[in-house]
Structure 1
Amino acid sequence: MHQQCRQCCSKTCTASNVRKKLPILTWLPKYSVGALQGDIIAGLTVALTVIPQGLAYASVAQLPPQYGLYSAFMGCFVYCVLGTAKDITLGPTAIMSLMTATFATSPVTGDATLAVVLTLMCGIVQFVMAILHVGFLVDFISVPVMSSFVTSAAITIAFGQVPKWLGLKDIPRAFFPKVYWTCKKLPETNVWDLLLGLVSLVILFTLRRLQNVKWRQTDDLTLGQKISRKILWVVGTSRNAIVVVTASGVAAILISQDVDVFSQTTHVQPGLPSFSLPKFSLHSGNVTLSTHQLFQELGFGLAVVPLIGLIETIAIGKAFARKNNYEIDANQELLAIGAANIVGSFIGSYPVTGSFSRTAVNSESGVRTPAGGLFTGAVIILALAVLTPLFPYIPTAALAAVIIAAVINMVHFRMVIYLWKRKKVDLVPWTVTFVFSFVLGIEYGILLGVGISLFLLLYPWARPKVKIKHQEVAVIQLSNGLLFPGVQYVTERVNRQALADGIAKSAVVDFSHVTDVDSSALQGLKQLSEDFAKRDTMLVLSNVDPEVLDVLNKANFSHIKYCKTNEDAIQLIYGKLPPVHTCLVHSTK
């Protein structure tokens, strides 16, 4: 037994397997000064993006601002060791923030107990999925469903910031009540918040265009021109930080003059978070949640949040891997984000995943390895240690503008036009997901969308197209495999055609499109063959795939015959086929 364990360990703990599970061992020995320079620049640039985004996304997650920064730095360190994509940055995102608010909003204002436990469980689920190699489950979430989910989530997030932009108080969280009460309370709008949010949005969209300017590529640029272009790009990339810092400065100056006109960010707990095991119960004032009740509160979130996190990270990783000509290991990515969430839960993080906007910034900044995340994480820790006393000066309207500008590009209504032109049936899951995300909630919208997609996927197997090719002999062609959803339907159709016009006919079933059969199909064929035998007619299967034929032969059918072509089958039924012909009569009795 001891010898077997040693052999198993020696096979598992090979150098290649260790490098596969710890990708840092692959790129670290080849690390260079040039790579360090690129990683430092990219890491600092991403930090300027993630700090204001983290503060803003925390409000989407219904958490105090510091939790956005708690969620922003640990993933950077973990992914550096375990990640396979040089461009990906892990941290808080708009979608995961909304998921946290949906599934883990605490009954105690400002309490993060449910969110932190959700992070831990999300990480465990993702980690186990990586070990079991079941990441393929995300393939069952179709593109239309994901597009609709992201669109409805973006609209939910954006409109959720409107009350904060307008300075409105006591607005419900549910979407339709929020729309109603926002409209009803419009007369209570804080004009200063409205103007600040509007100016912030204009600046954000203008600087985004500056970042995305496609300069004409020439070889005769002067050093000054090159530096100017780079400065403009950095300014565009740092737009969130510029808006937040400027708005905070204006607010601080006004407050120093006893002019308090803006709605401010709530108190931010200063300093770094403590490293401790998440609490599995909640006791605060009159509110008590046992461990069992806490997990009941999380509900579907324990399944939905890990899958959404996986989808975001893998989609982003594959997109930038194609763009920059390298490969990622999808299963290792799942393991990395799982580990990041597990470790992050010990410092108060809510669930994290890959961020498309920050990954794009990371890539464009010239990141060379995952080590860029180390510098991003270091800057965030520095901000938590030094800058938290300044965070209450940040106007909520400025943070609302940051979120609205970030999610506006996530609205995918062009997908509706695309589906209408290409395949209208895919509009069904898109529409179901979109409508019910608002009517029932974002979590039920995606579940119903996936359900409709699976129904559309399985329907052709449950109701395969059956073509009738002959009048005197029923020749029936199946459009796809013969599996359990469609067995009853197919056998009934074959029997119906064999008894058409009140005359019992023999039948040929064309298996040219059948690549697989299951045990239900075998039982159905057995019953069908017995029905034909009782009527003293023949049942012939033609164009049978060799592998399928092997399965059918093992089933030991006594009344089914097999031929290579439909023509041979018809000749066999009419008794015109010579004994030595291409027809394969595999009757075993």
Structure 2
Amino acid sequence: MSGSVYLRDERAHLITENECMTDKPFTRRLCSCCSYATVRKRLPILNWLPQYSLQWLKLDLIAGLTVGLTVVPQALAYAEVAGLPVQYGLYSSFMGCFVYCVLGTSKDITLGPTAIMSLLCASYIDHDPIYAVLLTFLCGIIQCVIGILHLGFLLDFISFPVLKGFICAAAITIGFGQVKNILGLHNIPQQFVLQVYYTFLRIHETRVGDVTLGLICIVILLCLKFMKGHMKSTEPNTSFLVKSCCTIIWFFATARNAVVVLSAAVVAFVFTDHNLDVFTLTGKTAKGLPPFRPPFFSEKTENETLSFKDITEDLGAGLAVIPLMGLLESISIAKAFGSENDYRIDTNQEILAIGLTNVLGSFVSSYPVTGSFGRTAVNSQTGSCTPAGGLVTGSVVLLSLAYLMPLFYYIPKAALASVIICAVLPMFDYTIFKKLWKVKKMDMLPFLLTFIMCFWEIQYGIVAGVILSSFILLYRVSRPQIQISGEGVVVLKLQSELNFPAMQYFSDKLYKEALKASPPRSAIVDFHRVNYIDYTVVKEMEDLLRQFKDKKLSLVFTRLSKEVLSVFLAANLKGFTCSHSVEAALQSLTGTETLR
């Protein structure tokens, strides 16, 4: 509703010539950096706060409260995925709400723990909170550097098939990883293949109470989701009773995770109070808010002290994979909802917001966070107008930490597992196999490689997919499309850019069609679609010009852009000839050949 007005005020105070009259470049840059327009760009809250209204406040309160009731049970569950005590899920859920309110450019997105980020972290932190918090700090620093240096283009090297392969594999890995909690099994390894093996090996140890509760929770969650998806908007003349019933149903369906988890906790409490050990419970959790302190840069164990260098070596590829995947996930979500609600985001500002969230989050024992698709969808659907709804969501999390932690003892792990399974089910897009095969079969290769390798190790799957995608891209760059025509004079029309990887292929084509032909013939190269050439291209063209000259033939370049022409002229190539059109070059060469 309000997406059309959010961030639409383009009026900004710009420094004029009268305010900053100087010829010194450094002073001009300083004035520009200190201008109100720059401050507004770096603090997007200044764009919407002056326009804030009571109507926006009402909608943001509803959206923030609804998301808060969604994030609390999900945070507890995702901490389980990350291999951390459940309170770390809540520690990771409130800092992003406050930071993003000031720095974010999307009215919908919510930052916090997600299934994918939790799974990635589990691969590197080995159930160690100190590793998790330090990883958060380092990821935040890396993301801030990427944002400040405008290196967001690095995300473009992760293609959609690679991303989709990772998400589909992650959905299966996360979902199956919770089967042990549904069945009430213990001591199941983290690695996926071993997890599958030992789950079936110990399936006879299944606890009836856990599996019964888990299946009931899954059925209730799916039913509530189905009800919400099929609710129709009420007509204006609908009775108050009907409207009230629809509102109640909508609220319970939207906050279904909280409803199921709380209900399961009540059931577990009743059984425990009667000394019946029926369910596997979350157990004792730390009380109260986390202390505000910097992350530990070393760790003392029973046998040794791990230095900062030792920890970073253990984290290894995670210091590259987790920051990039966090940015990719969050920015993709922000762009999707910005397009849906008619506003645009600032990518580099989003990167800074996520980076600063992780840096500050590490001071409150957070593990790495990113944008959540599910909670962002809830935020958007409940009518959020600005990021101010995050203040309400963050407050709900803080209140839960302050007053409800003792109650989390009774939350059954099967209930949290059902929340995770229902959250990741939609992530697996089975139609992508058919779409890729139909649209572009070549893209099936990086998708399948990523998908399969992620079951071994998540990071290996992503890296393998990116490398294969890069090889495919380089192959296409090194084999430019060339349209060949002409009889007496061969005409080669380049249909794409000409860079150093493609130069050998182009040179071989030209040599085969002109110099090696019987008889050899002159050639025209049409550069109409080429806007950039490098030194390798220039040197190879110099060699080709010499070979044509030795055979007393001509090589003419046509329709050169200003940039390409300036490079050729700067190189001062002997025998370099150009023409404004292919037809003019043909006439010139035909006349020359006739004279000969």
TM bucket by the smaller chain?
over 0.9
Contact 1:538–1:560 (8 Å) recurs in 2: no
The 1-side partners of 2:514 and 2:180 are apart by: 68
Of the three residues 479, 493, 497, the one matched with 1:481 is 497
The 2-side partners of 1:558 and 1:8 are apart by: 44
The 1-side partners of 2:181 and 2:213 are apart by: 11
Relative to structure 2, which stretch is displaced further, 563-572 or 251-260? 563-572
* Corresponding residue of 1:222: 239
SS in 2 for 1:261: coil
Is 2:207 the partner of 1:190?
yes
* Corresponding residue of 2:194: 177
* Corresponding residue of 1:84: 105
Of the three residues 508, 514, 525, the one matched with 2:541 is 525
**Which residues in structure 2 correspond to 1:177-256 (within 5 Å)?**
177-216=194-233, 218-256=235-273
| 1:199 Cα deviation from its structure 2 partner | 0.7
Of the three residues 557, 565, 568, the one matched with 1:541 is 557
The 1-side partners of 2:42 and 2:585 are apart by: 56
* Corresponding residue of 1:288: 305
* Corresponding residue of 1:583: none
Q: Which amino acid aligns with 1:553?
A: L
Give unmatched runs, 5+ long, in structure 1.
580-589
Contact 2:63–2:383 (8 Å) recurs in 1: yes
SS in 1 for 2:230: coil
Instruction: Decide whether aligned partners of structure 1 residues 448 and 81 sit closer, same or farther in structure 2, where only a CA change above 3 A counts.
Output: same
Q: Deviations over 1:320-371 (max 9, x none)?
A: 2222222222211111111111100001000111111111111222222211
| 1:62 Cα deviation from its structure 2 partner | 0.7
| 1:543 Cα deviation from its structure 2 partner | 3.5
**Which residues in structure 2 correspond to 1:160-175 (within 5 Å)?**
160-175=177-192
Contact 1:480–1:515 (8 Å) recurs in 2: no
The 1-side partners of 2:506 and 2:517 are apart by: 19
| 1:128 Cα deviation from its structure 2 partner | 1.4
Q: Which amino acid aligns with 1:443?
A: Q
Is 2:319 the partner of 1:278?
no
Of the three residues 20, 39, 55, the one matched with 2:41 is 20
Q: Which amino acid aligns with 2:465?
A: G
* Corresponding residue of 2:89: 68
Relative to structure 2, which stretch is displaced further, 38-47 or 570-579? 570-579
* Corresponding residue of 1:435: 452
| 1:4 Cα deviation from its structure 2 partner | 8.0
* Corresponding residue of 1:146: 163
| 1:217 Cα deviation from its structure 2 partner | 5.3
| 1:13 Cα deviation from its structure 2 partner | 1.4
Q: Which amino acid aligns with 2:443?
A: D
Instruction: Decide whether aligned partners of structure 1 residues 226 and 469 sit closer, same or farther in structure 2, where only a CA change above 3 A counts.
Output: same
Q: Deviations over 1:173-227 (max 9, x none)?
A: 1111111111111111112211111111000111111222240553322222222
The 1-side partners of 2:440 and 2:92 are apart by: 40
The 1-side partners of 2:306 and 2:570 are apart by: 58
* Corresponding residue of 1:383: 400
Q: Which amino acid aligns with 1:182?
A: T
| 1:8 Cα deviation from its structure 2 partner | 4.5
**Which residues in structure 2 correspond to 1:510-589 (within 5 Å)?**
510-576=526-592
Of the three residues 277, 284, 302, the one matched with 2:319 is 302
Q: Which amino acid aligns with 1:340?
A: T
Is 2:156 the partner of 1:156?
no
Instruction: Decide whether aligned partners of structure 1 residues 569 and 325 sit closer, same or farther in structure 2, where only a CA change above 3 A counts.
Output: closer
Contact 1:281–1:290 (8 Å) recurs in 2: yes
The 2-side partners of 1:490 and 1:16 are apart by: 49
Q: Deviations over 1:107-151 (max 9, x none)?
A: xxxx31111111111111111111112212212222221111111
SS in 2 for 1:274: coil
The 1-side partners of 2:574 and 2:25 are apart by: 49
| 1:401 Cα deviation from its structure 2 partner | 0.6
Cα root mean square deviation, aligned: 2.1
* Corresponding residue of 1:105: 126
The 1-side partners of 2:477 and 2:103 are apart by: 41
Is 2:484 the partner of 1:468?
yes
Q: Deviations over 1:251-309 (max 9, x none)?
A: 11111111101111142111110011101111122353211110011111111211111
The 2-side partners of 1:217 and 1:491 are apart by: 69
| Identity in percent | 48
Contact 1:270–1:388 (8 Å) recurs in 2: yes
| 1:229 Cα deviation from its structure 2 partner | 1.5
The 1-side partners of 2:571 and 2:517 are apart by: 32
Relative to structure 2, which stretch is displaced further, 153-162 or 136-145? 136-145
The 2-side partners of 1:551 and 1:366 are apart by: 55
SS in 1 for 2:425: helix
Q: After the TM superposition, list the runs of 4 or more consecutive aligned residues in structure 1 that deviate by more than 4 angstroms.
A: 3-8, 576-579
The 1-side partners of 2:554 and 2:143 are apart by: 54
Is 2:515 the partner of 1:496?
no
* Corresponding residue of 1:269: 286
Contact 2:557–2:579 (8 Å) recurs in 1: yes
Instruction: Decide whether aligned partners of structure 1 residues 509 and 178 sit closer, same or farther in structure 2, where only a CA change above 3 A counts.
Output: same
The 2-side partners of 1:434 and 1:204 are apart by: 28
Q: Which amino acid aligns with 2:477?
A: W
SS in 2 for 1:541: strand
SS in 2 for 1:369: coil
Instruction: Decide whether aligned partners of structure 1 residues 577 and 369 sit closer, same or farther in structure 2, where only a CA change above 3 A counts.
Output: same
Aligned residues: 573
SS in 2 for 1:258: coil
| 1:422 Cα deviation from its structure 2 partner | 1.4
| 1:385 Cα deviation from its structure 2 partner | 1.2
Relative to structure 2, which stretch is displaced further, 124-133 or 336-345? 124-133
Q: Deviations over 1:31-67 (max 9, x none)?
A: 2222222222211111110010000000111100000
Relative to structure 2, which stretch is displaced further, 76-85 or 66-75? 76-85
Relative to structure 2, which stretch is displaced further, 78-87 or 511-520? 511-520
Contact 2:515–2:548 (8 Å) recurs in 1: no
Is 2:68 the partner of 1:35?
no
* Corresponding residue of 1:55: 76
The 1-side partners of 2:477 and 2:573 are apart by: 23
* Corresponding residue of 1:586: none
TM-score (ref. length: structure 2): 0.92
SS in 1 for 2:186: coil
Of the three residues 446, 459, 483, the one matched with 2:462 is 446
Relative to structure 2, which stretch is displaced further, 477-486 or 173-182? 477-486
Is 2:421 the partner of 1:404?
yes
Contact 1:211–1:234 (8 Å) recurs in 2: no
Q: Which amino acid aligns with 2:157?
A: F
Contact 2:234–2:243 (8 Å) recurs in 1: no
The 2-side partners of 1:524 and 1:140 are apart by: 29
SS in 1 for 2:577: strand
Q: Deviations over 1:55-84 (max 9, x none)?
A: 000011110000000000111111111112
| 1:428 Cα deviation from its structure 2 partner | 1.5
Give unmatched runs, 5+ long, in structure 2.
1-21
Relative to structure 2, which stretch is displaced further, 267-276 or 357-366? 357-366
SS in 2 for 1:475: strand
